[in-house]
Amino acid sequence: MDYISNTDQERKEMLAAIGVEAVEELFSMIPEEVSFNRPLNIPEGISELELIRNAQKKAAKNKSMTELCSFMGAGAYEHYVPSIIDHLISRSEFYTAYTPYQAELSQGTLEAIYEYQSMICEITGMGIANASMLDGGSAAAEAVLMAARISRKKKILLPDSIHPAYREVIKTYGVNQELDFKEISLTGSKLDLDELAENLDNQTAAVVVQYPNFYGSIEEMEKIQELMKKSKKALLIVIANPISLGLLKPPAEFGADIVVGEGQSLGNGLNYGGPYLGFMAIKDDRRHLRQLPGRIVGGTSDVDGKKGFVLTLQTREQHIRREKATSNICSNEALNALMATIYLATMGREGLKEVAAQSYHKAHYLADKLEKLDGIEIVNDDFFHEFWLKTEKPITEISDKLLEKGYLAGVDLAQFGEEEGLLLAVTEMRHKDEIDNFVKELEVAING
Amino acid sequence: MDEKLIKDYSSPGRKGYSLPPLDVPEKDLNAGLGNYLREEPLALPEVSEVDVVRHYTALSEMNYGVDSGIYPLGSCTMKYNPKRNEDLARIPELTQLHPYQKDDQLQGSLEILHDLKNYLAEVSGMDAVTLQPASGSHGEFVGLMIIRKYFEDQGDLRKKVIVPDSAHGTNPASAAMAGFDVIEIKSNERGMVDPAALREAMNEEVAALMLTNPSTLGIFEKDILEIADIVHEKGGLLYYDGANMNAVMGYVRPGDMNFDVLHFNLHKTFSTPHGGGGPGSGPVGVKEFLAPYLPYPVLSKSEDKYFWDYAKEKSIGKVHSFYGNYAVMLRAWAYMVTVGGPGLKKTTENAVINANYLKTKLKETFELPYGEDSLHEFVLSGSKQKKEGVSTLNIAKRLLDYDQYAPTIYFPLVVKEALMIEPTETENIETLDRFIETMLNIAREINEDPEMVKNSPHTTVVRRLDESQAAREPDLCW
């Protein structure tokens, strides 16, 4: 099955109009020594029915959350996704559109991005947001590069309490600009404030803090804000979980200069890690704005004085500034940002708070129950909806046993090569019975 | 603005969601969160479900997608996005998967990704493929980092990358982001890389030449092997910008043209939707000697098991939090499986026929600055019309009045008043004829009533928007 409309007869007519007899003539400029003279070694095409059958056969080899009850998080969270989101983004005027280059025919996309930017500003407390970045990790990396450009310094303080994958991505990006990364150790489940203080000086370009951090704990943001006074140049970058901001103070209140994060939990499914969206917001500061990567939508008016929206401040971008652009980013995650926009609109003032609060209460309900069991230590003192559990028993053994009972027991920290234990996340999706049964099965797996 | 903002639908206390009541004991938030508890309530909209549905439906009606009609954006390959691929990317067992689930729970998905990698390698003539980059420019960045790391490993620190002046803007931007200095070389009178200029610019400090073939003019670089030799003789590598892959499938492969690295745009040639600006997906293919540098984890197969290999000895590192834009890859896989090997070749043929048909019919009325044979796209100049005082921007805006999207304009930079046109293979002859008729009509209008064309668009929901006002007085959030 191909997607070509023209018939053989129509093709013939077109070739005649062009002035050639056979289609091969149109490729005659390709020199013989490079041309490809055998059929592609890819199977013949198939029909729709065969495709779906083929895909379902593959799907049957997976174990998905249709059959498993998950306590996994670590940067990808299973939250309730209102049904209307998929219906609305399936309007093909949205999903089959290109980047809104012709503004007059793209007002839908542009107005939605303007709303997205506005609501990201609202939850983070910041003044300006861009139209989205590729994902949480790359948004954090671009924030670091931006901070280095603004401060004209190279030292980046990168605590071990940040998601290990984000730290990897940040370093991959940073190595090209010869940034100097200084790791800050973990004390308990938080960054070591004394070590941060020792390393923070006038050579520092940025301090990066995750809020809540990778282990679920809430860093001592007020003390960090105080410490930032030690350096005139350094910027504070906060990697925030957007759902938590329904309940927690926005990073702007702790003096954040750049707030980034993974927007997946705002109405986007898990999709095995992508497509997700990175969000990025900054203070309302013209100097910083000039260094902001990515697309930005702004309001303006048309020749009749009617309000409308356009892509703006494009002189920061690659298609104009080329090698001097603030980033190479072109395609971003517009449709995922639209999902986040519809999510924030639907959940609204009360809903985001309620999702955050339910996740908080349920995670604490689970942690309180687990803490009473023998052989389990909860490392965190305080946390939002995710916590770090330690036990003597090998985690792989526990995970395997729980999988047999239908549970994804959490994320095994050993895979990141730094710490041991299990990272457990609970959202509003888990009901009490599931949590109670999970505790029973976990107890059997550990002590049974 | 025909549709007010979602916040303007707000009415205090209105709700658009419902959740089950909390079924566990409530903790004392003040005690637990203390100073970190939000004080100010969120000023998010308070709207009903119907409000939300009506609002975003209204916004969609102010938009234009491939399903609305022709979308002839050059270098963007706006082809039809098959609906069945959308269904497939919503099969729960293929999508309700957590990125940290173990490989043995995901054998079906990993098999799909592995097949996709193999198909991409076959189409491009490359040996190894990573699917991790989330967009085309992300792929460029990865490809250039691989090149950088390779030279570092050889103890041969090369700091420069050559980019033709006709290249996509992302090329120099990605090179700069990967830490290279960019050297721009001028195209010759045919709009192509001038081997003499290249020879002059090429030396042992140059890590790579970035090229797309066919070029952004849609013209195939016949001297490609000579160009590759010039670069390789000085120890440099050749990077292929796969944005124009739709022009060559089944006819010529970048690997066979001696390219060492390339990126694909799954959201172009492989039919996944653009989503109004993403998500895309930009896999990278390399020759064998560069395979150790691919971002980790690398998808591998041992006997009958698929697994992620986290060995990172020479890898450039990670560029994405997880594995890239997985659900986009599912759609691209579905496309390649559905169309099949012979179908991909037919796709390229029809894309080239459609572009040449348009070119034949338009080149008398609009200037064709580079007359060489072209493949999937071509570039006209509005310079004749400009003499009448009507710019390419005006022509683009007038097209919108006819309910058709405009070509890419003012790109490539080597053509004045450029109109870069790529119809793709999925348009039929009637749609093409309508586009031709409209363009010819606009040319007539320019003769008869240039002011009317200059003041277009007239029929869109908003008319010409003031971009300088937007930049001068930024209004970026409500």
CB distance from B404 to chain A under 8 Å?
Answer: no
- State the Cα–Cα distance between residues B281 and B279, nearest whole angstrom: 7
**CATH code, domain carrying A375:** 3.90.1150.10
The structure tokens listed for A94 are 């949205």
Q: Does residue A152 sit in the same domain as residue A220?
A: yes
Single residue among B285, B318, B339 that ends a domain in this structure: B339
Q: Does residue A433 sit in the same domain as residue A336?
A: no
Q: Does residue A313 sit in the same domain as residue A369?
A: no
**Hey, are the CB atoms on A45 and B337 less than 8 Å from each other?**
yes
Q: Does residue B329 sit in the same domain as residue B446?
A: no
CB distance from B462 to chain A under 8 Å?
Answer: yes
Place of tokens 């004394």: A194
Q: Does residue A374 sit in the same domain as residue A339?
A: no
Domain span at residue B395 reads 346-468
User: Which of A211, A331, A210, A345 is closest to A267 using CA atoms?
Assistant: A345
CB distance from B477 to chain A under 8 Å?
Answer: yes
Q: How far is CA B28 from CA A216, A236, A253, in A?
A: 18, 30, 22
Q: Does residue B252 sit in the same domain as residue B123?
A: yes
A426 occurs within a structural domain: yes
B67 occurs within a structural domain: no
CB distance from A289 to chain B under 8 Å?
Answer: yes
Answer yes or no: is pLDDT of B413 > 90.
no
Domain span at residue A49 reads 8-57
The total number of structural domains in chain A stands at 3
The continuous run of DSSP H or E covering A224 comes out as helix A221-227
Q: Does residue B314 sit in the same domain as residue B204?
A: yes
**pLDDT above 70 as % of chain A:** 100
Query: How high is the pLDDT of residue B1?
Result: 66
CB < 8 Å to B455, chain A: 303
**Hey, are the CB atoms on B278 and A334 less than 8 Å from each other?**
yes
CB < 8 Å to B132, chain A: none
B474 occurs within a structural domain: no
CB distance from B42 to chain A under 8 Å?
Answer: yes
Q: Does residue A200 sit in the same domain as residue A317?
A: yes
Q: Does residue B286 sit in the same domain as residue B426?
A: no
What confidence tens digit (pLDDT) does each residue in A145-184 have? 999 999 999 999 999 999 999 999 999 999 989 999 999 9
Mean residue pLDDT of chain B comes to: 96
Residue of A nearest to B279 (CA): A333
Instruction: Residue window 114-143, chain B: list those with CB within 8 Å of chain A.
Output: 119, 122-123, 125, 134-138, 140-141
Answer yes or no: is pLDDT of B45 > 80.
yes
B367 occurs within a structural domain: yes
Q: Does residue B124 sit in the same domain as residue B243?
A: yes
The total number of structural domains in chain B stands at 3
Instruction: Residue window 285-344, chain B: list those with CB within 8 Å of chain A.
Output: 295, 316-328, 334, 336-344
What confidence tens digit (pLDDT) does each residue in B357-399 have? 999 999 999 999 999 999 999 999 999 999 999 999 999 999 9
CB < 8 Å to A276, chain B: 321-322
Q: Does residue A88 sit in the same domain as residue A233?
A: yes
CB < 8 Å to A312, chain B: 467, 470-471, 474, 476
B416 occurs within a structural domain: yes
Residue B138 CB partners (closer than 8 Å, separation 6+): A134, A138, A328, A329, B282, B319, B320
CB < 8 Å to B36, chain A: 218, 221, 248-249
Q: Does residue B146 sit in the same domain as residue B274?
A: yes
B193 occurs within a structural domain: yes
Q: Does residue A190 sit in the same domain as residue A50?
A: no
User: Which of A205, A200, A191 is closest to A143 using CA atoms?
Assistant: A205
B73 occurs within a structural domain: no
A2 occurs within a structural domain: no
B1 occurs within a structural domain: no
| SS3 state of residue B130 | strand
Q: Does residue A242 sit in the same domain as residue A293?
A: yes
A62 occurs within a structural domain: no
The answer to whether the bond into B214 is cis (omega within 30° of 0) is yes
A268 occurs within a structural domain: yes
Closest Cβ opposite residue A432 in set B23, B45, B168: B23
Q: Does residue A133 sit in the same domain as residue A101?
A: yes
Best A323, A354, A403 member to test B by mutation, with max B CBs in 10 Å, is: A323
DSSP A136-202: HHHHHHHHHHHHHHHHT--EEEEETTS-HHHHHHHHHHHGGGT-EEEEE-EETTEE-HHHHHHH-ST
Q: Does residue B91 sit in the same domain as residue B174?
A: yes
**CATH code, domain carrying B384:** 3.90.1150.10
Best A18, A322, A358 member to test B by mutation, with max B CBs in 10 Å, is: A322
Residue of B nearest to A382 (CA): B32
Q: Does residue B31 sit in the same domain as residue B126?
A: no
A1 occurs within a structural domain: no
Q: Does residue A319 sit in the same domain as residue A269?
A: yes
| SS3 state of residue A310 | strand
Q: Does residue B382 sit in the same domain as residue B323?
A: no
Residue B233 CB partners (closer than 8 Å, separation 6+): none
Q: Does residue B31 sit in the same domain as residue B172?
A: no
The structure tokens listed for B166 are 């006709």
CB < 8 Å to B375, chain A: 26-27
Query: How high is the pLDDT of residue B191?
Result: 80
Residue A50 CB partners (closer than 8 Å, separation 6+): none
| pLDDT band at residue A448 using 50, 70 and 90 as cut-offs | confident
Query: How high is the pLDDT of residue A315?
Result: 87
**Hey, are the CB atoms on A107 and B429 less than 8 Å from each other?**
no
- State the Cα–Cα distance between residues B400 and B124, nearest whole angstrom: 36
A53 occurs within a structural domain: yes
Residue B8 CB partners (closer than 8 Å, separation 6+): none
Specify the pTM: 0.98
Q: What is the mean pLDDT of residues A368-387?
A: 96
**CATH code, domain carrying B88:** 3.40.640.10
CB distance from B73 to chain A under 8 Å?
Answer: yes
Residue B261 CB partners (closer than 8 Å, separation 6+): B143, B146, B147, B208, B237, B238, B239, B240, B284, B285, B286, B287, B290
**pLDDT above 70 as % of chain B:** 100
- State the Cα–Cα distance between residues A15 and B430, nearest whole angstrom: 15
Q: Does residue A291 sit in the same domain as residue A438?
A: no
A112 occurs within a structural domain: yes
| SS3 state of residue B418 | strand
Is B400:B460 a contact under the CB 8 Å cutoff? Answer: yes
Single residue among A292, A312, A343 that ends a domain in this structure: A343
Q: Does residue B14 sit in the same domain as residue B128?
A: no
Higher pLDDT, B190 or A241: A241
CB distance from A231 to chain B under 8 Å?
Answer: no
- State the Cα–Cα distance between residues B145 and B176, nearest whole angstrom: 11
Q: What is the mean pLDDT of residues A228-237?
A: 95
Query: How high is the pLDDT of residue B477?
Result: 97
Q: Does residue A335 sit in the same domain as residue A359?
A: no
Query: How high is the pLDDT of residue A317?
Result: 87
| SS3 state of residue B437 | helix
Q: Does residue B225 sit in the same domain as residue B261?
A: yes
Q: What is the mean pLDDT of residues A417-445?
A: 97
| pLDDT band at residue B189 using 50, 70 and 90 as cut-offs | confident
Residue of B nearest to A61 (CA): B108
Instruction: Residue window 69-108, chain A: list those with CB within 8 Å of chain B.
Output: 70, 72, 74-76, 78, 80, 82, 84, 86-88, 90-108
A24 occurs within a structural domain: yes
- State the Cα–Cα distance between residues B2 and B96, nearest whole angstrom: 37
B92 occurs within a structural domain: yes
